[in-house]
Chain A
């Protein structure tokens, strides 16, 4: 048999009808994750056509994007930002009830940002296909699942048939050698990689991340890397599963249990690209030379090491971005005053991310005049963080400890910045206006975000490292 890539192995396991010149392949979807924002029009279309949900048992819902992160009011109601937001969540609740779809909604112990919740529950399994009306679905690729974002029309297709029409993607291997230095995290790794290949560098490709730096990452770190594949324009990101993956999955409620888990694990071990498999494109990247990263512009590729100067603008887009960000080329962005800090999102809203932020904040204070929101990625992350006392560290430092949700990542639930404010954010996109009109977003790791909150300015987290006198 010819040597094949991990992507091709998963693809061929899910091909219901092969692609031809006339039509794309019919690809079977093992898990459809849905949320309130990108589904109401799909359910409406289904009903207009008299169609039903083909496999409600393979569909899992949560609400995360439009949901408030402030606690319930005294009367028990949820403090939605707008009536439209409330209506959207209630529409999801009604659609799930009507079609028999399990909803981890309000009151559930597992509600959370969809890409934090799925893996936590063990719904994300190696070798499976996972889609969601959300571009950060690539997160699940960290488990060796083929996972990608789809639009609302395609949400309708999967609801009606559990399948999608897809053309085979090109494949790109990213060989990441070297090991991350102290104070440098998975977030810095993916920001560094995107800066190198560009926001269109992965266009049309499924990226497989390989090499010793990837093997050394925790599952949480791998999710952070795969999460931002879309920011390089890639269709999906993949990491071959290994013992780190299997150990993580062994405790998950919806993963196979007991003997079924043992059998599944034997199969999962075969899910790797063959040694001789060829990729359409291969690049190498050295993780060992990375510093903590920050972005200085208005897309995720416009970034630099925190100890480096903002580069001179290479083109009109970069000039425009620097103008928007009010940053000057030729000197480091570090030291620039910060108005707000956000720790959370499907990129960095997991327990390990909150632990990173807490290590920096322990015994320190958020600088006067700086607002800091810490938003756990899910109810489970919130419970686990509180069991460790992390919330007390955040509150003692003067940060806000919120309810789970997408929050300031895309600022559609009422959380956001004011025009002109500079926000250091652990989320995934620094597009103009992403966190509110005129808001300037700097992407960074949870450690860098926390260090910036303490310093009141963009700061290198290594000065606050444990045992460092500099703090």
Chain B
């Protein structure tokens, strides 16, 4: 069975805030867990080395939220899609940060995980009021959080895929005749 994606329209939840910049993919899921050949079960390993008594990640609290919020440059480092799989499998549907690392964002959006950038003032408001509910509406590209309302940017193609619960493979395979014509022309 091809991997299934759930369509996204609105996400309403209190956030789970990690108030640290440059959270890299080795923190999200350490490399020693990457010997798997499956994409399932990664949620249990999310922030593995941040768990425990003094850890910055509290699974029981995080599990009550659908929206992960982190300071700038979240997801920097490796290209491992396991990071997006782990966040999604844990139960998050969205990741908000003032700056998202390129490859992480691309991976998340291909996995039904709404990863979008928010302006620093919205981030600050969320970090100051982590108990306040957040509403994300993908159709209108708006976010209501901690008394603020703001627009967010998202690539129109990625947005369509998320709204419809499909990934980009279908688009590419439907263009295979263009691709073959390109190959022929440059041969």
Contact = CB atoms under 8 A, between A and B. Distances in A.
Contacts, number: 173
A28 interface: yes
25 contacts: A21-B156, A26-B172, A26-B175, A40-B37, A41-B38, A48-B1, A48-B2, A84-B36, A133-B81, A150-B79, A151-B106, A153-B81, A153-B111, A154-B110, A163-B179, A167-B155, A233-B73, A233-B102, A299-B24, A317-B22, A412-B31, A431-B24, A431-B26, A433-B26, A433-B27
Nearest to B110: A153
A317 B18 CA distance: 12
Interface string A190-213: 000000000110011000000000
Interface stretch (B87-95, B136-144, B163-171): B163-171
Interface of A: 16-17, 21-24, 26, 28, 37-38, 40-41, 44-45, 48-49, 51, 54, 65-66, 82, 84-85, 87-88, 91, 133-135, 137, 149-154, 156-157, 160-163, 165, 167, 199-200, 203-204, 230, 233, 235, 299, 316-317, 320, 410-412, 429, 431-434, 436-437
Contact of A66 (B30, B35, B168): B35
A210 to B, nearest CB: 22
Given A151-B84, A432-B27, 18 more contacts: A26-B178, A38-B79, A51-B173, A82-B35, A133-B81, A152-B39, A162-B179, A165-B168, A165-B172, A200-B73, A203-B99, A230-B77, A233-B73, A233-B101, A317-B21, A412-B31, A433-B30, A437-B49
A160 B169 contact: yes
A429 B179 contact: no
Q: Looking at chain B, what size class is its interface with the partner chain?
A: 35 or more
A342 B1 CA distance: 43
Nearest to B24: A431
Contacts of A203: 73, 99, 101-102
Given A16-B179, A28-B179, A41 B37 contact: yes
A153 B34 contact: no
Contacts of B103: 135, 149-151
B34 A160 contact: no
Contact of A433 (B36, B49, B111): B49
Q: Which 5 A-B pairs have the closest CB atoms?
A: A40-B37, A151-B107, A151-B81, A149-B79, A84-B35
B37 A161 contact: no
B110 A151 contact: yes
B20 interface: yes
Contacts of A235: 102
A163 B1 contact: no
Interface string B29-71: 0111011111100000000010000000000000000000000
B37 A45 contact: no
Nearest to B168: A165
Contacts of B173: 51, 160-161
A161 B179 contact: yes
Nearest to B107: A151
Nearest to B158: A24
Contacts of A151: 79-81, 84, 103, 106-107, 110
B26 A16 contact: no
A165 B37 contact: no
Nearest to A90: B37
Contact of A48 (B3, B102, B107): B3
Given A153-B111, A200-B22, A437-B49, A49 B155 contact: no
